[in-house]
Amino acid sequence: MSVNEKYEAWLRCPAMTEELLHELQSMDAESMNDSFYRDLAFGTGGLRGVLGAGTNRMNVFTVMKATRGLGAWLLEHNENPSCAISCDSRIHSRDFAELTAAVLADMGIAVWLYPRLQPTPMLSFAVRHLSASAGVMITASHNPAKFNGYKVYGADGCQITLEDANQIQAHINRQEDLYAEIPSFSHYLSSGAVRYITDETIEAYYRSVWNLRVFPCSEPLHVVYSPLNGAGNDPVREILRRMGNIRIDIVAEQEQPDGNFPTCPYPNPEIREAMNLAIEKTLLTGADLCFATDPDCDRMGAGVRTGNEVKLISGNDMGILMLDYLCRHTEKRGNLPPVVVKTIVTTEMAAALCNKYGLELRNVLTGFKYIGEQIGRLEDEGQKERFLFGFEESYGYLSGTDVRDKDAVNAALLLCDMAADLKSQGRTLLDRLSELQDEFGLFVQRLLTYEYEGESGAIRMGAIMKNLRSPLDSFDNPSLRIASRTDYLHDETGLPKSDVISFVLSDDDRFIIRPSGTEPKLKAYLFTRASSVSEAEQKLDRLQTLVDQLCR
């Protein structure tokens, strides 16, 4: 069907909601084309897109279509399939979660749904705890308010594999775009086809996180916390309450769930703007540190007060601090070394730390699902207890195996235990980080993002990635002509094929470029090692100038 034919069909649909109908009626030619020129793609991250009317948007009809495809796949592979569902605080998240539950129930699939918003890691945990066949998390993670998404988990609690995603996509392609009637959630809830997840599962999750403590410390610690108007408020505060030594001040403006994210347009704890209110409160109250979790509470960012300022800690450095803490306080079990897993775009300082402590380090592709997959492999080999820690530069951490995705509740507990331990010695996280940098060297990174909106943007992204695969001697920059390049899509790397390209310019300098899996962006990761902060900044600036020329 053409764009105009799709548009007219949506206008005539008897089940069209008033909100979507109003948007359809106000579309101009450009917005109509962008809303209908393609279907929202389904991948290992599920669906993610801008809220609105059209096949290239997140709405009740694209959610229904995806859910019917997921349901058909579950029925094909399971005799008595079941699915656990959760959602964050985003606009229409609860609506989409209840719709997903109703559609699956309509197909004869047993459904468990959290009665209120709960974080992504609690969905992963529920899938495993309830022995569900799959899980769905309605979230767009840390994206701006105009986005929402639909993440699918397998029975192992991990995000689905590429093979599973392709099979589900094939089933989605067979579904209708529009339906004359929307299934009733209340009907299937009252009939028992949809059941609420009980407090037993929630308490089991809290116990699981609690059991990950390796060195409890009773030193009083004063923290400022912001859930960034997301799903972390209750679980994070509950787990810290149980510690008994944590004084928590909450950023009031960001305490309650609000999918509009009125105080930070980009609710991402990786960026300072999202942390500003927490920083202000930390300075006002004299707290030891502050931290924030993103809307679905799988990422955590933190900063430490030093006098009259707060210094934020990068995802790479926080991961190193947590790994160091676990190494110093965890006894080795068995004859085989503990396993640490990180992504290829995460700091190489982890290799130095693993060498010191005799750990096995595994590098995987970008995406925490690959870290979860490594836990699953250890479990299949009867060696699950070997897993020590997994982390990625984008503020995701995990030190347990009951959850198979990054977990900011786990990270908050680890952060506070670690900070309290150091405080009892008269030191801070920044002091320990400085000691590690003195020991192993200054490893620094910089993340660059390049946005390409709409259909023309997608074409531009493809052209850039194609150009990066040109013969090395065709590049104008002499550094690129002598670089070592790894193409993770075409070279044999031992990892799944992925549209990622790495350039190693020297022993200390390299960069990696890849398309975002969820947004119309290219991401570039710059890495260097230096003897001082000023030298590191100069080297990163030179790398950025080079990458800017390639990606703009």
pLDDT over 90 for what percent of the chain? 93
Same domain flag for 157 and 24: yes
pLDDT of 458: 84
DSSP code of residue 295: T
* Tokens standing for residue 446: 């910089």
Final residue of a structural domain among 150, 181, 197: 197
Given a cut of 70, whether residue 70 has pLDDT beyond it is yes
Same domain flag for 182 and 210: no
Average the pLDDT over 196-201 and give the result: 98
Same domain flag for 386 and 463: no
User: What distance in Å separates the CA atoms of residue 157 and residue 128, rounded to the nearest whole number?
Assistant: 6
Chain segment 409-441, per-residue pLDDT in tens: 999 999 999 999 999 999 999 999 999 999 999
Average the pLDDT over 46-63 and give the result: 97
Q: Dihedral of CA 40/43/47/49: which sign?
A: negative
Residue type (1 letter), 103:
V
Chain segment 246-288, per-residue pLDDT in tens: 999 999 999 999 999 999 989 999 999 999 999 999 999 999 9
Domain count, the chain: 4
Final residue of a structural domain among 252, 280, 310: 310
Alpha carbon 174 to its chain centroid, in Å, reads 29
* Tokens standing for residue 358: 């005799």
Average pLDDT over the chain, rounded to an integer? 96
* Tokens standing for residue 195: 């059941």
Where residue 451 sits, what CATH number does that domain have? 3.30.310.50
- What distance separates the 2 farthest-apart alpha carbons in the chain? 69
CA distances from 41 to 166, 172, 173, 342 (A): 11, 10, 10, 27
Final residue of a structural domain among 275, 310, 345: 310
pLDDT of 265: 87
Minimal CA–CA distance to 199: which of 110, 118, 257, 109? 118
Same domain flag for 224 and 185: no
Residue 475 makes CB contacts below 8 A (sequence gap 6+) with: 481
DSSP 46-71: BEEEEBSSSTTSBSHHHHHHHHHHHH
pLDDT of 518: 67
Same domain flag for 189 and 51: yes
Chain segment 449-505, per-residue pLDDT in tens: 999 887 788 889 999 999 999 999 999 999 999 999 999 999 999 999 999 999 999
Give me the residue label for tokens 């507990």.
413
Same domain flag for 455 and 511: yes
Give yes or no for a contact between 287 and 258, defined as CB atoms under 8 angstroms apart: no
Q: Residue 260: give the domain boundaries.
A: 205-310
User: What distance in Å separates the CA atoms of residue 108 and residue 289, rounded to the nearest whole number?
Assistant: 49
Same domain flag for 434 and 448: no
Neighbours of 7 (CB within 10 A): 20
Same domain flag for 11 and 146: yes
Residue type (1 letter), 300:
M
Residue type (1 letter), 25:
Q
User: What distance in Å separates the CA atoms of residue 32 and residue 486, rounded to the nearest whole number?
Assistant: 40
Where residue 104 sits, what CATH number does that domain have? 3.40.120.10
Predicted TM-score (pTM) of the model is: 0.94
User: What distance in Å separates the CA atoms of residue 319 and residue 360, rounded to the nearest whole number?
Assistant: 16
Same domain flag for 379 and 506: no
Query: Which residues are identified as catalytic?
Result: 141
Same domain flag for 237 and 304: yes
Same domain flag for 95 and 21: yes
Give yes or no for a contact between 277 and 226, defined as CB atoms under 8 angstroms apart: yes
Chain segment 517-535, per-residue pLDDT in tens: 767 899 999 999 998 999 9
Query: Alpha helix (H) ranges present in 442-503?
Result: 454-468, 478-481
Average the pLDDT over 347-366 and give the result: 96
Neighbours of 483 (CB within 10 A): 18
User: What distance in Å separates the CA atoms of residue 161 and residue 43, rounded to the nearest whole number?
Assistant: 9
Chain segment 81-113, per-residue pLDDT in tens: 999 999 999 999 999 999 999 999 999 999 999
Per DSSP (E only), the strands in 56-182 are 82-87, 110-113, 134-138, 147-154
Instruction: Enumerate the β-bridge partners of residue 446.
Output: 526
Strand order, beta sheet including 134-138 = 47-50, 147-154, 134-138, 82-87, 110-113, 194-196
Instruction: Enumerate the β-bridge partners of residue 50.
Output: 147
Same domain flag for 59 and 186: yes
Average the pLDDT over 52-61 and give the result: 98
Give yes or no for a contact between 295 and 301, defined as CB atoms under 8 angstroms apart: no
Backbone φ, ψ for residue 279 (5° rounding): -65, -45
Minimal CA–CA distance to 110: which of 177, 195, 231? 195
Per DSSP (E only), the strands in 114-207 are 134-138, 147-154, 194-196
Average the pLDDT over 197-202 and give the result: 98
